[in-house]
Chains A and B, each alone.
Chain A
């Protein structure tokens, strides 16, 4: 639970501002008066659902939850807590790592859904409160040309990213050797490697599932 609840505020904050900024920047780039205003919310919807909610939140998730997993397991490793489990005849990977991966697979998609909602809400507020787009146009744009596969795609990405972040961070933490300095190094490596893996997976999934 702490994996999801602990990240909720940051995810909501970041995604709300992402949505707001996307709205303002899309409006700024629409120079032709032939393009109707509701296109702004269509762009916001696609950007948030397809890319910003699952991927940017995964980068934040890797920084917050991934580093916490790696440093927690790394500390357990260097203080011999993992050895203590092994001596008791307990499979430390099953006991420590598996629950983290399962919790991540359960909580991260929920965070992505919340991020999507907050992002679109942020876009709506930024667009309507500043007069960029009327509330009716924004809602109309959200509902027009809607392809439900984008939601499925975002959820597939969220499951893949959740698995990557949790497993890479756990691996780095679990295999920490040395002392406090190495725990910090493991934590940094966990974030860096997770982010790279997320970006590569992001491209591969787009190529596999969206390419015509």
Chain B
């Protein structure tokens, strides 16, 4: 479980995140949604420690990340897996080396053990016979899947996904969403997904936090989202033509 308290972040005079608190439970995907530029990615980066908030605390199963010493922070970070918007695969390494990288630097596993684990993770995300391909030789959807394989290869306790479906076709998006949901349930890990894709929201939105102009306006599930009574959320949800056509049904 991840708990955040009063996360506040500004860039110069611009307040990007304003006192956001919340709890992200384990075993199911927790979605942070909102329009582009509302501060979702900044919030996610504040949670994983890539961007220190001006105010606020982040607790990983009770461990205060920003209040910890360097060693504890590194220990917590080694329990994280993250899927970045563009995959963030290392250009100079092939698929296998990319997925193996966390094992190379963070574990003392033998090469055979690492190879076995990499193959297992690649199979888990539905990729086979791509081990020797370079990131430039695979599609956007495959990059995302390799990114997921790399994120889970060291059996993380916490998984973060930043816009996992951006730039993907609807079918591949569903595959990625299902994968994230399955992994969260199977590994019983705390997963936070930042997205503005309503298909994802309606597909895997077991717990949803809606951010508007840096503030948390609503929290709930996909079953409640269409009748939240929050105007800003309704504007966001029903901006999608398909969702709009279902309005009132």
Contact = CB atoms under 8 A, between A and B. Distances in A.
Interface in B43-77: 45, 48-50, 73-75, 77
B78 A79 contact: no
A76 B86 CA distance: 12
Contacts of A88: 77-78, 80, 101-102, 105-106
Contact of A87 (B82, B89, B90): B82
Contact of A89 (B74, B89, B91): B74
Nearest to B90: A81
A75 B50 contact: no
A84 interface: yes
A2 to B, nearest CB: 11
Instruction: Give the interface size bracket for B toward A.
Output: 20 to 34
Task: Please classify the interface of chain B as helix (H, G, I), strand (E, B), loop, or mixed, using the class held by over half of its residues.
Answer: mixed
Nearest to A86: B50
A84 B86 CA distance: 11
Contacts of A76: 90-91
A80 B88 CA distance: 5
A128 to B, nearest CB: 46
B84 to A, nearest CB: 4
Contact of B91 (A75, A83, A87): A75
Contacts of B101: 88
B105 A83 contact: no
A86 B90 CA distance: 13
B78 A84 contact: no
A81 B91 CA distance: 9
Interface in A127-184: none
A86 B82 CA distance: 10
B85 interface: yes
Contacts of B160: 87
Contacts of A90: 105-106
Contacts of A81: 88-91
A175 to B, nearest CB: 15
Given A80-B86, A81-B88, A87 B48 contact: yes
Contacts of A86: 49-50, 77
Nearest to B150: A84
Given A88-B77, A89-B74, A83 B106 contact: no
B82 to A, nearest CB: 5
Interface in A67-111: 75-76, 79-81, 83-84, 86-90, 95
Given A75-B91, A87-B50, A90-B105, A80 B77 contact: no
A81 B143 CA distance: 13
Nearest to B160: A87
Given A75-B91, A89-B106, A90-B105, A84 B84 contact: yes
A88 B73 CA distance: 11
A75 B77 CA distance: 23
Given A75-B91, A81-B91, A87 B77 contact: yes
Interface of B: 45, 48-50, 73-75, 77-78, 80-82, 84-86, 88-91, 101-102, 105-106, 150, 160
Given A83-B84, A88-B106, 12 more contacts: A81-B89, A83-B50, A83-B88, A84-B88, A84-B150, A87-B49, A87-B77, A87-B80, A87-B82, A88-B80, A89-B73, A89-B106
Closest CB pairs A-B (n = 3): A89-B77, A80-B88, A84-B88
